[in-house]
């Protein structure tokens, strides 16, 4: 017996930014290439993000992203996974916002998946110096 089963197709939202590629020296987002640290949400890109060494980051560095009330911020640390200061992790926890730290390529993939699910996320993507 053969049944007709409805199939639901979905397509990417044209309003959502998509990270298309990441290398050690460039990030391609929705057709534009950036050669510096960027921050983004699914709706907006901040190409002039102030790059700082991961070890020097504080919660104040994320004010522009936290204003959008994300549930999670993804921090891409270049080609190597670097750990941020413990106080930064605690500051995010006190605000009830998740902080995930990974290499930038993994951060880009994670951003795309979560943005595609409609999650309230943001990312800071660092390139290697």
Q: What pLDDT is stored for residue 128 in this prediction?
A: 82
Vertex 111: Cα angle to 108 and 113 (nearest 5): 110
Q: Which residues of the chain have pLDDT under 70?
A: 1-15, 129
pLDDT for the residue numbered 8: 40
Model pLDDT, residue 48: 87
What's domain 19-126's architecture? 3-Layer(aba) Sandwich (3.40)
Is the CB of residue 107 less than 8 Å from the CB of residue 76? Answer: yes
For the residues of 21-73, what is the DSSP string, one character each?
Answer: EE-SS-EEETTEEE-S-EEE-SS-EETT-----GGG--GGGGHHHHTT--SEE
Label residues 46-59 b or e (16+ Cβ within 10 Å = b): eeebeeeebeebeb
Domain boundaries, the chain: 19-126
φ, ψ for residue 29, nearest 5 deg: -125, 120
Looking only at the bridges linking them, the beta strands covering 38-40 and 121-126 are antiparallel
pTM of model > 0.85: yes
Q: Can you give the pLDDT at residue 14? A: 53
* DSSP for 96-128, written as a single string: T-EEEEE-HHHHHHHHHHHHHTT--EEEEEE--
Encode pLDDT of 69-79 as tens digits. Answer: 999 999 999 99
């Amino acid at each position: 017996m053969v049944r007709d089963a409805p199939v639901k197709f979905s397509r990417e939202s044209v309003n959502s930014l998509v990270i298309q590629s990441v290398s050690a020296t460039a990030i391609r987002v929705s057709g534009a290439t950036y050669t510096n640290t960027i921050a983004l949400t699914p709706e907006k890109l901040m190409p002039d993000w102030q790059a700082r060494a991961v070890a020097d980051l504080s919660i104040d560095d994320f004010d522009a992203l936290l204003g959008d009330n994300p549930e999670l911020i993804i921090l891409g640390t270049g080609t190597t996974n670097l750990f941020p200061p413990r106080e930064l992790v605690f500051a995010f926890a006190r605000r009830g916002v998740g902080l995930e730290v990974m290499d930038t390529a993994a951060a880009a993939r994670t951003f795309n998946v979560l943005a595609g699910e409609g999650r309230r996320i943001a990312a800071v993507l660092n390139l290697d110096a």
